[in-house]
Structure 1
């Protein structure tokens, strides 16, 4: 019988629960996976509770008592839902959870059932050996992160904030993994980026209005033309460099580790010298406004009176008001904007005991680890928990082999995680929780 306290078996089991979330309310649901997680936590002596705003969209929360109740509590949070996977595109079935050639395959192995499995394995191991984390830990396995979090983290924060009483910091996905980069002298450096910030999400809907008419006739009030011109101005705009504390620290510390000259007055030149390491930061030295959706008209010979578009807008901490002012200027008087989603950027302290503890845990397992802060270009449920004043970090440690395309795995075809990477991550998290 498989050992359901082993991190690899736990992750494999979690993958086999199809928790696909297509968005806009179209989801398989997290209930079965949540019941499995709650059962494991119960077996470890905890008292988990399942919370649902809608049937089947389940969140599991439990408080894990620490050995020193005077210390501030830590939130450890992960999501149980995954994005869709078309089995026809995959080498192995996406919900098989198979282990092959040293890798565990399946949708969610990177985003983020691997982290959930590590946490569950640690809880089980601590229960078996009588150990406890140093401080109280709130464990949250949530729903709906792959959509908007309205049935998961954002709902829990709004309706059940008492669950997170005492939590001052949180860890979750998108940080603490190996990133192999060449130094200036030709040696390889193992960077471990820890997420200390996230760009904000300010998705915009644009609406251009005009005068309907026949497609064969001249019309200076064509809504489609007005919208296309505005979109062209948006797409062509070059947003200025903004060096937030996280991004500046990343550039300085990574440059030092690689032996690369860092010139903060010439960020583009610095990025060119960083080589592959630039991939971790190039999307977060600026805001971005990317047109992604268009909708207008119903017949080729009819000029519509309304045309709409959506823009994926991402904002660095402290920049949203200035960005929106510039967007309004670029749109001009004939195009209106409104928010589709608006979640502010997240910024945690870079130089903090929390970051130091994460770095120490990584270096204890990999003495050559170079731990640097970084800003995530997208977003996570940290945007919900930050509303409670919690300092949110991306710290889901993994040891990755050189050449492994980790950043292409999340939401990608043939998603997989190295088995030894999972075991490494469990050891790092154990050290962090005991420290």
Structure 2
């Protein structure tokens, strides 16, 4: 049985992790443009002698897949899964969000918490594993394109090359707590159509905006058809985040569009959400307007196991590195996150969400550099703490 030299894990250089995370934050990947960041990570892993390849999912938008072979043949692998795309709040930053900076123990940068910081920790864990000559099991990095809601990159990678057994850590920001559940998502658009007319001839117009406001009020207070889930007690929830309408102050709006997002529990899907929305629309839509409802994206819920071998290994590794046990559960706001753990678990991997950072979609997003270093050490240590038999 291979034993982790914990002094090696503790010797991971915080400045190295912070430097890599800063470099990743400085590469824009928020607009269907993951190619440059993928190439950056692949080149760095290659310089460490790690087996790596790019899997192009869409032209210019690849996954990065890397592997450090295990030393005890036949053990199920450990997957470290993180996404390359990174949205961030574009307004209100004290400095350029694409020029990360350090203040004390804080690293600031666009998408540093969701999740370029966690991705840097995973890359450094891979490099440290290679430097140690490998962990007991294959250690696989999946740095995927287009996580956003649907998890396209992870779905494509799992379908093309797996693995379909073993363990997987999804590195979404959990503030170094172990999350074992999160909701799914169904996103939708509601397009209301009326007829434009000048304020001087209001009787000739049909106001799509007024009708859309009625629909908005109904959706905001609606109850969805669902069965409550004990791991996700705060879900489902719904938000209409966009209402676009009209083109002139003195004219009725000929069109109005609502864009919304439902965070779901198991048993809810595009069909149940669509039926519920249709019912609300029919109740609130003005009779002289028409409406088109579309479901624009969907992802499953993730329901893990707090007593699984992976959670036990993560708990042990975290405790040995940090000196105290981690929290385990599925609290808010993590319940309302959407993670690729749903697809990792669905294909058969014992999965959990564990990553540095406490994500807020806000200016001056930051992650503790100590947490970035510790996350890298804990990812590495978990590969040793997992069971040493298939």
Flag whether TM exceeds 0.5 (same fold). yes
Q: Do the aligned partners of residues 101 and 121 (structure 1) sit closer, same or farther apart at CA in structure 2, a change above 3 Å counting?
A: same
Sort the Cα spacing of 1:368 and 1:53 in 2 relative to 1 into closer, same or farther, 3 A: closer
Residues matched between the structures, number: 362
- Specify which of 197, 212, 228 is matched with residue 227 of structure 1: 212
| Change beyond 3 A, Cα 1:7–1:395 | same
Q: Whose RCO is larger (CA < 8 A, sep 6+)? A: 2
Shift of 1:243: 4.4
Question: Is the counterpart of residue 365 in structure 1 residue 321 in structure 2?
Answer: yes
Alpha-carbon separation, structure 2, partners of 1:239 and 1:393: 27
Q: What is the Cα deviation at residue 110 of structure 1? A: 2.0
Alignment deviations for residues 228-247 of structure 1 (CA, whole Å, 9 cap, x no partner):
21221111235699642424
1:51 aligns with 2:55: yes
Secondary structure at the aligned position of 2:327 is classed as strand
Q: For the structure 1 residues 85 and 308, does the alpha-carbon distance in structure 2 shift closer, same or farther, using more than 3 Å as the test?
A: closer
Question: Aligned ranges for residues 227-306 of structure 1 at < 5 Å?
Answer: 227-237=212-222, 243-247=228-232, 285-304=234-253, 306=255
Give, in whole Å, the separation in 1 of the partners of 2:60 and 2:123. 21
Q: Deviations over 1:204-226 (max 9, x none)?
A: 11133456656534479644333
Tell me which of 305, 308, 317 is aligned to 2:266: 317
> Deviation at 1:394?
0.9
What is the rounded CA distance, in whole Å, between the counterparts of 1:108 and 1:302 in structure 2? Answer: 40
1:432 offset after TM fit, Å? 0.7
Q: 1:224 to 1:49 in 2, by over 3 A?
A: same
Moved over 6 A (4+): none
Report the equivalent of 1:328. Answer: 278
Give 3-state SS (helix, strand or coil) of 2:43's partner.
Answer: helix
Aligned with 1:308: secondary structure? strand
C-alpha distance after superposition, 1:21-44 (max 9, x if no partner) = 344x4x4x432x323322332344
C-alpha distance 219-358 of structure 1, shift in aligned 2 (>3 A): farther
Which residue is equivalent to 1:105? 108
Gaps of 5+ in 1: 179-191, 248-283, 399-405
| 1:13 match: secondary structure | helix
Question: What does the per-residue CA deviation read over 1:287-325, in whole Å, with 9 as the maximum and x for residues that have no partner?
Answer: 122112223333455445543211122112223355443
Over the residues paired in the alignment, what is the CA RMSD in angstroms? Answer: 3.2
Partner of residue 29, structure 2:
21
Contact 1:242/1:285 (<8 A) preserved: no
Check if 1:381 corresponds to 2:340.
yes
Q: TM-score normalised to the size of structure 1? A: 0.72
How far off is 1:175 after superposition?
5.1
User: Are the aligned partners of 2:80 and 2:171 in contact in 1 as well (CA < 8 Å)?
Assistant: no
Distance change in 2, residues 1:81/1:6 (3 Å): farther
User: 137, 140, 162: which is aligned to 1:138?
Assistant: 140
Q: Flag the 1:295–1:68 CA change in 2: closer, same or farther, 3 A.
A: same
Q: CA deviation at 1:66?
A: 1.8
- Rounded Cα–Cα distance in structure 2 between residues aligned with 1:176 and 1:231: 32
